[in-house]
């Protein structure tokens, strides 16, 4: 028996993060030092048991979203308990582990939670998983030591160009992340609180290199990940999205189709004017862009720290319409502190957007760990508002999974109440003291 294996939990909602992690593993040449296995959660224990006869050391690495807990928290807890018995170290990272390291370790049973961005620290994380490194030497790790919480800061990746945006060697592709971090720190959004307000960008040269790589692999649709598409600025040259899209436009002649400012990205409304809209029209293949409005109430927009007004959204739609483009505008229903007047203003704003040719996408507020609203509850959605929203959806003018999100949030609030989601050191200590009493 020889060698080392890293078992990575893998399913649809976390696949992009896993691909990026494997790209970093390639850069660090970790694939030469250990075999990596991508395994669905239901097969994870069986896989580990099979690998135990082949490998001297096994580590379990998991990227977690908070919404994963809806269907997977019991299974994850069971797996971690059995892995401890097998002597296998489990480490969780990603948005949920960063936002709620207490619940990740205490309630879900991971040995370590990793906070922040993992690319630079990945070799140390893998060594930690193999019990070959002292956890106190790994930046970004959180763990319990004799009942005390140990934080070792947060992982941070300063240079996106250093790593591929996916896993070339394994052929696991996804949209190219061109910007990480966000200046705006909206109260409901995890981006600024996981990736900080320090924005980092891939260079134009690096982005076009990986686009050409995809084209050579017969992948024609070129898509990008960014919290704010028009904020792009090359870290080396200072070139803006204009220069980036000019270079990407050249790839359209090679058969590439450039999708920019659309899923899985968006454009902030205050950045769009007629000149920008005309430029987009001639340089991208998408006829529709995504705009985050979130509310039609200026007072609520201020409370959630959006940094734009409701009028900015309408001005952006007018500019896009003048260039022959349309928009899908995102709204969040049930935000904390949302008054009846705010709700009425939002419905009226939606109607204005529709009258200008826009489409509506409706979301329901999710209290995400790590954000200022993590411990807040949604505001009530009155019956009249539900009727209005369903009319918009029924007429084909709006879409969105807000009703299923509402049901999911009820479950997340239950998990928070039961201590599966902990969020704070006080709540974590309470659980630990209760566990010790029960013991």
Summarised one tens digit per residue, pLDDT across range 124-140 is 999 999 999 999 999 99
**49, 140: one domain:** yes
Identify whether residues 132 and 186 lie together within a single domain: no
Handedness of CA 279, 285, 286, 291 (dihedral sign): negative
Secondary structure letter of residue 364 according to DSSP: E
Give me the pLDDT at residue 437, please: 36
- 235 within 8 A of 201, measured Cβ to Cβ: yes
Same domain, 179 and 145: no
**What is the C-alpha end-to-end distance of the chain, expressed in Å?**
38
Measured CA to CA in angstroms, residue 234 lies from 145, 153, 181 at distances of 43, 28, 14
Backbone angles phi, psi at 257, to 5 degrees: -120, 120
Two structure tokens written together for 65: 């979203």
The strand ranges marked E within 172-235 are 176-177, 179-180, 200-201, 221-222, 224-225
Total domains in the fold of the chain: 2
Is the residue at 251 inside a domain? yes
Q: Kindly provide the b/e burial profile for residues 208-218, where b requires at least 16 CB atoms within 10 angstroms of the residue's own CB.
A: bebbebbeeee
431 lies in a domain?
no
Considering the domain architecture, whether residues 241 and 208 belong to the same structural domain is answered as: yes
Look up residue 373 and give its two tokens: 């609203």
Indicate if 137 and 260 belong to the same structural domain.
Answer: no
Q: What is the pLDDT of residue 296?
A: 98
Are residues 288 and 215 part of one domain?
yes
Residue 439: inside a domain: no
Question: What tokens appear for 364 in the block?
Answer: 């329901």
- Residue 55 CA to chain centroid, in angstroms? 33
State whether 209 and 70 are in the same domain.
no
Specify if 420 maps to a domain.
no
Q: Which of 98, 117, 151 is the last residue of a domain?
A: 151
Number of residues that make up the chain: 439
Do both 108 and 251 map to the same domain?
A: no
Residue 271 within any structural domain of the chain: yes
- Any idea what the CATH number is for the domain that residue 41 is in? 3.40.50.280
Low-confidence ranges of the chain (pLDDT < 50): 436-439
Can you give the three-state secondary structure of 101-145, one letter per residue? HHHHHHHCCCCEEECECCCCCHHHHHHHHCCCCCHHHCCCEEEEE
Q: How many CB atoms lie within 10 A of CB 15?
A: 14
- 159 located within any domain: no
φ, ψ at 145 (rounded to 5°): -135, 110
Q: Structure pTM?
A: 0.95
Q: Is 1 helix (H, G, I), strand (E, B) or coil?
A: coil
- Note the helical H segments in 5-141: 15-27, 44-51, 69-86, 95-99, 101-102, 122-129
In this structure, the answer to whether residues 241 and 359 fall within a common structural domain is yes
Q: Is residue 231 part of a domain?
A: yes
Same domain, 27 and 98: yes
Q: How far apart are CA 296 and CA 392, in angstroms?
A: 16
pLDDT at 264: 80
Residue 118 sits at φ, ψ, to 5 deg, of -100, -10
One domain for residues 86 and 138:
yes
Q: Are residues 34 and 100 in the same domain?
A: yes
141-145/112-114 β-pairing: antiparallel
Residue 249 burial by CB count (10 A; 0-12/13-18/19+): exposed, middle or buried?
middle
CATH number, residue 229: 3.20.20.70
Q: Nearest Cα to 63, choosing from 28, 127, 27, 12?
A: 12
pLDDT of residue 435: 55
Report how far Cα 258 is from the mean position of its chain's Cα atoms: 22
Cβ–Cβ < 8 Å for 114, 125: yes
Residue 378, in any domain of the structure: yes
Which residue range is the domain that position 388 belongs to? Answer: 175-400
Strand pairing partners for 89?
A: 59
């Amino acid at each position: 028996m020889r060698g080392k294996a890293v078992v990575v939990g893998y399913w649809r909602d976390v696949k992009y993060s896993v691909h990026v992690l494997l790209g970093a593993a390639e850069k660090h040449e970790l694939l030469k030092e250990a075999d990596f296995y991508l395994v669905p959660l239901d097969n994870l224990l069986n896989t580990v048991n099979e690998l135990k006869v082949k490998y001297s050391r096994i580590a379990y690495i998991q990227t977690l979203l908070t919404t994963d807990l809806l269907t997977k928290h019991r299974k994850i807890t069971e797996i971690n308990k059995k892995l401890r018995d097998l002597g296998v170290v489990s480490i969780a990272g990603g948005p949920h582990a960063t936002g709620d390291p207490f619940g990740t370790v205490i309630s879900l049973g991971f040995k370590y939670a990793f906070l922040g961005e993992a690319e630079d620290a990945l070799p140390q994380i893998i060594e930690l998983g193999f019990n070959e490194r002292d956890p106190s030497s790994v930046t970004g790790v959180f763990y319990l030591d004799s009942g005390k919480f140990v934080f070792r800061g947060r992982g941070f990746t300063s240079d996106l160009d250093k790593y591929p945006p996916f896993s070339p060697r394994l052929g696991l592709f996804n949209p190219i992340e061109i910007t990480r971090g966000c200046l705006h720190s909206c109260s409901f959004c995890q981006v600024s609180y996981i990736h900080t307000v320090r924005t980092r960008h891939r260079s134009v040269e690096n982005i076009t290199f990986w686009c050409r790589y995809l084209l050579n692999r017969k992948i024609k649709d070129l898509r990008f990940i960014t919290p704010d598409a028009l904020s792009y600025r090359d870290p080396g040259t200072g070139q803006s999205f204009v220069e980036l899209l000019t270079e990407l436009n050249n790839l359209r002649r090679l058969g590439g189709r450039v999708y920019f400012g659309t899923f899985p990205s968006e454009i902030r409304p205050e950045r769009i004017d007629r000149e920008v809209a005309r430029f987009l029209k001639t340089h991208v293949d998408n006829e529709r862009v995504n705009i985050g409005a979130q509310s039609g109430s200026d007072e609520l927009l201020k409370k959630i720290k959006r940094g734009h007004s409701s009028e900015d959204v309408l001005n952006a739609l007018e500019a896009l319409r003048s260039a022959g483009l349309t928009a899908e505008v995102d709204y969040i229903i049930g935000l904390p502190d949302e008054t009846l007047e705010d709700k009425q203003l939002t419905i009226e704003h939606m109607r204005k957007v529709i009258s200008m040719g826009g489409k509506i996408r409706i979301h329901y507020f999710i209290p995400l760990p790590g954000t200022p609203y993590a411990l807040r509850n949604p505001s009530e959605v009155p019956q009249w508002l539900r009727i209005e929203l369903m009319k918009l959806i029924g007429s084909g003018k709006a879409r969105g999974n807000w009703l299923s999100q509402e049901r999911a949030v009820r479950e997340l609030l239950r998990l928070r109440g039961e201590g599966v989601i902990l969020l704070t050191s006080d709540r974590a200590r309470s659980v630990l003291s209760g566990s010790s009493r029960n013991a």
